[in-house]
Amino acid sequence: MTIGQHVAVVIDPENFDWHIDCRPGYTEIETTTAVGVVVALGMEIYEEEECEPDVLEDGTIRYWMSPKEAVPE
């Protein structure tokens, strides 16, 4: 799911892959919207102390998250 032009929300439970990608040029409104969406979907973004965001080669910042409820296997 893309928010604006610079933020993407990835929720892929089959591969246990949940993250938000903020590409260079992202805006505060894009990130705020993305956070609202993932919280509404029952996700929790990791605090930096738990899991630092990754910075990809192109400058994208990847924030990791997980479901608040356990995912059945």
Please check the confidence at residue 72 and state whether its pLDDT lies above 80: no
Please check the confidence at residue 20 and state whether its pLDDT lies above 90: yes
The pLDDT value given to residue 68: 87
pTM of the shown model: 0.89
In tens, the pLDDT along 21-70 reads 999 999 999 999 999 999 999 999 999 999 999 999 999 999 999 998 76
Please check the confidence at residue 71 and state whether its pLDDT lies above 80: no
Beta strands in the chain (DSSP E): 2-3, 7-12, 17-22, 43-45, 54-55, 61-67
